[in-house]
Amino acid sequence: MQRLIKVDGKVRTDRCYPAGFMDVITIEKTAENFRLIYDVKGRFTIHRITPEEAKYKLCKVRKVMTGPKGIPCLVTHDARTIRYPDPKIQVNDSVQVDITTGKITDSIKFDTGNVCMVTGGRNLGRVGLVTNRERHPGSFDIVHVKDTASHTFATRLA
């Protein structure tokens, strides 16, 4: 038990700790930082990042709600609950979370023209620009994405 590995700024000694998408993995002994992302075939891969990038992570907003005693809060894809967020942040937006404090430092709207990475299903790991969003009330929305090779594909927004 050497306590050398940190996941999102916390020392993890469990070899089977479930690190997930966009987690920051730090090895202090070698001063290396990695971000866990998907490759084009949908497998987890580590991407080397700078120490400046290792201070934050991007999280997708899954739910915006009012908590106990009327306190506004949001829930992210990695089950973080952040209280008192910016009222402009909506579901499917991405927030930049400071790992040390757990506070939101920046937010990115889910809109056409923005870069996205598919995080589930058959297109897992594909990256591209959002070209169109078809809204289907009562069902799942469809998002059309154009990748770097100019291939267009549609995926379900979950």
Dihedral sign of CA atoms 7, 13, 15, 18 in order: negative
β-strands 81-83, 72-76: how paired?
antiparallel
CATH 2.40.50.740 corresponds to the domain 56-108: yes
pLDDT one-digit tens code per residue, 86-128: 999 999 999 999 999 999 999 999 999 999 999 999 999 999 9
**pLDDT at position 149 over 90:** yes
pLDDT-derived band of residue 5, with 50, 70 and 90 as boundaries?
Answer: very high
Q: Are 42 and 124 in contact (CB under 8 A)?
A: yes
Q: Which amino acid is at 15?
A: R
- The mean of the pLDDT values for the chain is 96
Question: Residue 158: which pLDDT band, with cuts at 50, 70 and 90?
Answer: confident
Q: Domain map of the chain by residue range?
A: 5-54, 56-108, 115-157
Phi-psi sector, 28: left (phi>0), alpha (psi -120 to 50), beta: alpha
φ, ψ (nearest 5 deg) of residue 68: -60, 140
CATH fold label, 115-157: SH3 type barrels. (2.30.30)
d(CA 69, CA 81): 15
5-54 folds as 3.10.290
Confidence at residue 1, expressed as pLDDT on a 0 to 100 scale: 78
